[in-house]
Amino acid sequence: MVTGLVVIGVLVAEVLLFAVVVRAVGVLVTVAVVCASSALGGWLLRREGVRGWRRWRDAVAAGLPSGSVAADGLLGLLAAVLLMVPGFVTDVLGLALLVPPVRTGAGAGARWLAQRQVSSMVAGELFGPRRVRVRRPGRGSGASSAGDGRGEGADGGEAAEQAASTAIEGEIVDPGPPG
């Protein structure tokens, strides 16, 4: 239902923005810009598809986790498809996905979503070991006898802050169903 509302909202925004641009620059210029962005999207679709496929194949051949490479390739394809769709809202979204910092952020979001949809073992194979925070019992968990009841001792909470900010790299292993 939410997806349908988003699609309807984008369609309405596209029509309204198209009308505004036609009024500002004329029909011929507006149609020319829409056609040019669609042609750019078609060219990018081929380029990003081939590039993404090669990078993914190289990562798999090297034995590296391929999830991030696949996500980046899919974001490139999404950018191309958004440019191919006639309209200015989709063009802006497609162009934004071509900007490296935006693409990196979108890739991190895609990785985060994918990791929550699959088991820890599959996520580790796709994206490599995850960084997780480990808190040791009794340190920073409210077990301190001195302080104000928030786990901060007489040192002003420095030990609790240090314990909370210490992170180790590790791998989460899903043992699977008991058998």
Pull the structure tokens for residue 123: 């996520």
Enclosing domain of residue 50: 20-136
Q: How far is it, in rounded angstroms, from Cα 129 to Cα 78?
A: 27
pLDDT of residue 120: 73
pLDDT of residue 2: 83
**Are 153 and 141 contacting, i.e. CB atoms less than 8 angstroms apart?**
no
How many distinct structural domains can be found in the chain? 1
Pull the structure tokens for residue 125: 């194979």
pLDDT of residue 150: 43
2 occurs within a structural domain: no
**Are 79 and 94 contacting, i.e. CB atoms less than 8 angstroms apart?**
yes
Q: How far is it, in rounded angstroms, from Cα 30 to Cα 28?
A: 5
CB atoms within 10 A of CB 53: 12
116 occurs within a structural domain: yes
Give residue 57's identity as a one-letter amino acid code. R
89 occurs within a structural domain: yes
125 occurs within a structural domain: yes
66 occurs within a structural domain: yes
51 occurs within a structural domain: yes
pLDDT of residue 117: 81
* SS3 state of residue 19: helix
41 occurs within a structural domain: yes
| E strand or H helix at 53 | helix 27-61
* SS3 state of residue 167: strand
Max CA-CA distance within the chain? Answer: 76
**Locus of tokens 């990791």:** 115
152 occurs within a structural domain: no
pLDDT of residue 40: 94
Instruction: Please list the pLDDT of the chain residue by residue as tens digits (179 residues).
Output: 788 898 899 999 999 999 999 999 999 999 999 999 999 999 999 999 899 899 989 988 888 888 888 888 889 999 999 999 999 999 999 999 999 999 999 988 888 887 788 777 777 777 777 666 666 666 554 444 444 444 444 455 555 555 556 666 666 665 655 55
Q: Name the burial class of residue 24, with classes exposed (0-12), middle (13-18) and buried (19+) by CB atoms within 10 angstroms of its CB.
A: exposed
Q: How far is it, in rounded angstroms, from Cα 173 to Cα 116?
A: 14
* SS3 state of residue 169: strand
